Amino acid sequence: MRKSHQHDIGVVLPDGVTYLMYSPVSGLIDAYEPDVSFIRHENVPAGWNPEKPHPGMPDLAVEIVSPGNDADVLQQKRHTYLEKGTQQVWLVYPRLREVQVYTREAVRIYSGADAIDLSDVFPGLEPLGLTVIFKLPSWAQ
């Protein structure tokens, strides 16, 4: 029997949170809203309201890729996230059931029965299997 552990290292935020990516106010071209994001507690500014733009970047940015997404735009976002200090960027391809995990050093493509190693961003958590990520609720099957 495995023990469950509670980890309180940050906050997971849904779509709608704007990250200014330390861009100057006059040039918000690098401001993004990932589909899902994670910020470590130490990177959340005191008194920050998630309904207002975050001045920095997420520690993890997840983009869900739709058929209408422009590949060049996605790659520019990925590049900017990593350049500005995001630790990992995930491009999730639901139709392919594939996740591309980018860091400043490498890219790893996960598919099939693979499990994503979360230890860099979430120390102590076990790898996350793609079957869990892509599992549909019974009402959607």
Q: pLDDT, tens digit, for every residue of 11-41?
A: 999 998 999 988 766 556 778 999 999 999 9
What is residue 98's DSSP assignment?
E
- Percentages helix, strand, coil for the chain (3-state, rounded to 5) are 20, 25, 55
49-107 confidence digits (pLDDT tens): 888 888 899 999 999 999 999 999 999 999 999 999 999 999 999 999 999 999 999 99
Domains in the chain (CATH in brackets) are 10-140 (3.90.1570.10)
pTM to 2 decimal places: 0.87
